[in-house]
Structure 1
Amino acid sequence: MDPVQLADASRLRTRATVLHADADSFFAAVEQRDKPSLRGRPVLVGGTGPRGVVSTASYEARRAGARSAMSMSRARRLSPAAAVLFPRFEAYSAYSRLIMATLGTLSELVEPLSIDEAFVDLEAGPFADDPAAAAADVRARIRELTALAVSIGIGRTKLVAKLASDAGKPDGLLVVEPAAEDDFLLPLPVRAVPGIGPATAAALERLDVRTVADLRRQPLDILTMTVGESSGVNLFRLARGIDPRPVAVSGERKSVGAERTFAQDIFGTDLIAAAVDRVTDEALRRLTAHGGGARTVVAKVRFADFTTLTRSVTLAQPSAEPAELRAAAHQAARAAGISDSVRLLGVSFHNLSPHAQLTLPWDDDDDEPSLDVADDVPDVPLALGLLTEENARPGLDIEHDTLGRGWVVHVRGRQATVRFESVDTPPARSQVVDLDTDPLLLVPPLTPTLDA
């Protein structure tokens, strides 16, 4: 091993004190928790339009072959009995905050990776001597507070901890001690290693590399010639369990944005410009919630043939002015050379700065980052408002004056099919409500709190 790898290896800790926690099938699990009639049933969460994409599939749906990032139409064919629900980010954010706060009782060093997973450095807390007991306790407390299952892996590196939590799913706890790392790592398929996607896996396949053991046998120069200098060195290290990255607390968001996949490809200057405006407005709402301004504006364009381009415009200084940022979004979109039918448009703000202040208020207080959930309709604000066919999405929360809370199954014209149930009620059957005689309100979800 060269001096660089030896230096990296020397920085590895000697005991398994890096914890990785990952909520199982998070979005779908929240929906099943909040909707009693869906417990134990297949659930698909994601875009509900013709080009919707699955964000999360419950384990019941996964057994039928459905999975995240699959087109919703294909997932529905594989799991025809599945309930298809529009994402409720306000609910997921509330559960996420509760999970992260509970993990924070283990250590002051918690590094959230996404809304449903995080690393924890147990060396920075009082539980380094008995990490398995700490993990079992925190899993039990999260289940008590949220009724959700969290899988946990523990190792001496982020790599091993992440792979251990994956191996323990669903609802598992796996501790990989340093002495057992090779027994755990070497039989794993090479695709299990974070960062190895289809293209890298295909390149490694040409070297007959199918497992981590196969990867470890490859000389460094062969790997760098095959996948490039940086990736080759990284794979050489990871195959040996060398991952000196620390658990780093970072509250800084790197970007905010929004994107929209269209039900039908759009073309023509006017239609595309109007679409850029709508997506930019949503991105601006999220920038407002984040606070401050941005210096770089990025436009993402996916054409009908699935070719995807991104172009950016960097301002002289951070700006929070909607007009200036909107103009930059149009400039970036034009720079992508839009001359054909467009399937997807996205706008995101980067190089965020707390020093630029917004001058216009926005009504939407959604502060969640844009997730990869494609749909053909704008996001539905989770605020009070009469339910109509136009704003109805399956799974959204509603309330009736006398029948109480429930959720939308579907709406046809002025006829709404709903289930009047919530987290604390028995399962309910679907029933049809005439919106003219029995109006329903769209309402925010009931969310748990730490003192619940």
Structure 2
Amino acid sequence: MDHDLLADAARQRSRPTILHADADSFFAAVEQRDKPSLRGKPVLVGGTGGRGVVSTASYEARVSGARSAMPMSRARRLAPAAAVLSPRFEAYSAYSRVIMRELGTLSELLEPLSIDEAFVDLDAGPHADDPAAAAVAVRARIRERTGLAVSIGAGRSKLVAKIASDAAKPDGLLVVAPEDEDEFLLPLPVRAIPGVGPATSAALERIDVRTVADLRRQDPDVLAETVGESAGVSLYRLSRGVDLRPVAPSGERKSVGAERTFAADIFGDATIRAAVDTVADEALGRLETHGGGARTVVAKVRFADFTTVTRSVTLTHPSGDPATLREAAHQAAHAAGITDSVRLLGVSFHNLSPHAQLTLDWDGDRTPGAAGAPAAATPSDDVPRFSPSPRAAGRAGPRLLDEAGSRPGLDVEHPTLGRGWVVHVRGREATVRFETVDTPPARSRVVDLDTDPLTIVPPLAAIVLEEDEGA
């Protein structure tokens, strides 16, 4: 072990005061929570079209072999009894805010990693002397407020805390004391180390490295030759439990957006322009929920041969004006050079600002060079996927359910039957379960949309939990 590694090992904490919290099967668990008829049953959340991918599989669906990142078509074959639902990001965000707020009561050093997981540094709060008690208490509060299970791992490093929370799933707590780290880490498969994916794992297997113990026995030069110098040094250190990364509260979200993979490739100027409008409107709903405006608009285009191109348009000032941002999205998509069939379209907003310049359309049209007009398009990197905000879209007025605007799991309301969720829509007939988190499970009911129109509404959880926040 070299001098630097010895020095860093000596700087390791003496107590397991870093927590990693991860909500179990988060999207599917929220759907089961909000939809009583799905509790204890297999649920798949993700894209429901022919090219859809599973975002989250409930534990009941995983028993059949379904898992996240799997093509939805394959997951459906493995778990034919599973309910297949489109994501409802507004509901997930509402639950996430409650979870993060409860975790934040433990320490001011809270580092959210995603919508459903975070690190907490107990050394910066009042609970450093008893990490287990702090974890037990916060898990109980989260369950009481949300009905969801959160698994927590605790260790003296991010590495150990993250692996411990994975080992604790589902619905568990695992605290790894420093003196127990070797016993915990060494038998694990090398894939348990965060960042070791299929390619790295395959490269390591070629030198007979399959467990963390195997990894620890390797010379650093051999690791550098096998997986590259930077990765090799990192794995050499992590296999010895040496990880000094601090828990760092993250800043403001840097981008919001939406993207859509089409069930069949689309082509033609009119069809593509309409698709850009649809995806841009989804992204605008997300931006409205975030608040403020954006200065850079990125279009992502994936063609039929899987070639992916991104182009961006940068405004002179941050703007929250939908027409300006939608126009910029069209310019960015045009700059991508669409000359072939399109498999996927994405629109995202970057360089977000809480202060946006409002462009007023005094004359009913726009002229080049006006304030907020897009500048020249420039290349940009790929961007993450987000989803529309039903709440933001609802501010423009109530929207009635129809086949084109439906998706399984969507929240709807009937004047007398109350709230429910869409199972499917065929023509002018909708199959709905009229139930909420506070009602008994309901049977499916067919509704004639001509005689009994249904209104698309925000998720009830988003309303109730936000009211709790404001109380």
Same-fold status (TM-score > 0.5): yes
Whole-Å Cα distance in 2 between the matches of residues 155 and 287 of structure 1? Answer: 37
Q: Paired residue for 2:370?
A: none
State the 1:379 CA deviation. 7.4
The one of 419, 433, 441 equivalent to 1:405 is 419
Task: Give the gaps of 5 or more residues in structure 1.
Answer: 362-369
Q: In 2 relative to 1, CA 339–392 (structure 1 residues): closer, same or farther, beyond 3 Å? A: closer
Q: Could you tell me which amino acid in structure 1 is paired with residue 119 of structure 2?
A: F
Q: Is the 8 A contact 1:18 1:122 kept in 2?
A: yes
Q: Could you tell me which amino acid in structure 2 is paired with residue 395 of structure 1?
A: G
1:426 aligned to 2:462? no
Whole-Å Cα distance in 2 between the matches of residues 102 and 22 of structure 1? Answer: 13
Q: Paired residue for 2:47?
A: 47
Q: Paired residue for 2:240?
A: 240
State the 1:324 CA deviation. 6.7
State the 1:343 CA deviation. 1.4
Q: In 2 relative to 1, CA 335–236 (structure 1 residues): closer, same or farther, beyond 3 Å? A: farther
Q: Is the 8 A contact 2:313 2:329 kept in 1?
A: no
Q: Is the 8 A contact 2:51 2:72 kept in 1?
A: yes
Whole-Å Cα distance in 2 between the matches of residues 6 and 335 of structure 1? Answer: 53
Whole-Å Cα distance in 2 between the matches of residues 51 and 373 of structure 1? Answer: 17
Whole-Å Cα distance in 2 between the matches of residues 442 and 186 of structure 1? Answer: 52
Q: Could you tell me which amino acid in structure 2 is paired with residue 403 of structure 1?
A: L
Q: Deviations over 1:24-59 (max 9, x none)?
A: 011111111111111111011111222221111110
**TM-score scaled by structure 1?**
0.88
SS of structure 1 residue aligned to 2:407: coil
Q: Is the 8 A contact 1:53 1:373 kept in 2?
A: no
Q: Paired residue for 2:211?
A: 211
State the 1:315 CA deviation. 4.1
1:396 aligned to 2:400? no
Q: Could you tell me which amino acid in structure 2 is paired with residue 443 of structure 1?
A: V
Larger deviation, residues 6-15 vs 324-333: 324-333
Whole-Å Cα distance in 2 between the matches of residues 325 and 413 of structure 1? Answer: 33
Q: Paired residue for 1:85?
A: 85
Larger deviation, residues 42-51 vs 75-84: 42-51
Q: In 2 relative to 1, CA 56–11 (structure 1 residues): closer, same or farther, beyond 3 Å? A: same
Residues 12-411 of structure 1 aligned to structure 2 (within 5 Å): 12-268=12-268, 271-294=271-294, 296-307=296-307, 309-313=308-312, 315=314, 319-320=318-319, 329=329, 333=333, 338-354=338-354, 356-359=356-359, 372=385, 383=394, 384-411=398-425
Q: Is the 8 A contact 1:21 1:165 kept in 2?
A: yes
SS of structure 1 residue aligned to 2:460: coil
Q: Is the 8 A contact 2:283 2:386 kept in 1?
A: no
Q: In 2 relative to 1, CA 197–340 (structure 1 residues): closer, same or farther, beyond 3 Å? A: farther
Q: Could you tell me which amino acid in structure 1 is paired with residue 38 of structure 2?
A: L
Q: Could you tell me which amino acid in structure 1 is paired with residue 412 of structure 2?
A: I
Q: Deviations over 1:105-164 (max 9, x none)?
A: 211211111111111111111111111111111111111111111100000111111110
For the aligned residues, what is the CA RMSD? Answer: 2.7
1:445 aligned to 2:445? no
Q: Deviations over 1:242-290 (max 9, x none)?
A: 2111111123112222211111112455544553444344334434543
State the 1:355 CA deviation. 5.3
State the 1:319 CA deviation. 3.7
State the 1:7 CA deviation. 4.2
Q: Is the 8 A contact 1:392 1:408 kept in 2?
A: yes
State the 1:209 CA deviation. 1.6
Q: In 2 relative to 1, CA 202–339 (structure 1 residues): closer, same or farther, beyond 3 Å? A: farther
Q: In 2 relative to 1, CA 329–428 (structure 1 residues): closer, same or farther, beyond 3 Å? A: closer
SS of structure 2 residue aligned to 1:264: strand
SS of structure 2 residue aligned to 1:37: helix
Larger deviation, residues 75-84 vs 315-324: 315-324
The one of 429, 448, 454 equivalent to 1:415 is 429
Q: Is the 8 A contact 2:390 2:458 kept in 1?
A: no
**TM-score scaled by structure 2?**
0.85
Q: Could you tell me which amino acid in structure 2 is paired with residue 241 of structure 1?
A: G
State the 1:60 CA deviation. 0.4
Larger deviation, residues 321-330 vs 61-70: 321-330
Whole-Å Cα distance in 2 between the matches of residues 291 and 424 of structure 1? Answer: 31
State the 1:351 CA deviation. 3.8
Q: In 2 relative to 1, CA 228–31 (structure 1 residues): closer, same or farther, beyond 3 Å? A: same
Q: Could you tell me which amino acid in structure 1 is paired with residue 57 of structure 2?
A: A
Whole-Å Cα distance in 1 between the matches of residues 328 and 415 of structure 2? Answer: 46
Whole-Å Cα distance in 1 between the matches of residues 336 and 411 of structure 2? Answer: 39
State the 1:419 CA deviation. 1.3
SS of structure 2 residue aligned to 1:49: coil
Aligned length: 440
Whole-Å Cα distance in 2 between the matches of residues 444 and 332 of structure 1? Answer: 31
Whole-Å Cα distance in 2 between the matches of residues 325 and 441 of structure 1? Answer: 28
Larger RCO, structures 1/2 (Cα 8 Å, 6+ apart): 1
Larger deviation, residues 244-253 vs 215-224: 215-224
Q: In 2 relative to 1, CA 275–421 (structure 1 residues): closer, same or farther, beyond 3 Å? A: closer
Whole-Å Cα distance in 2 between the matches of residues 233 and 336 of structure 1? Answer: 39
Larger deviation, residues 293-302 vs 208-217: 293-302
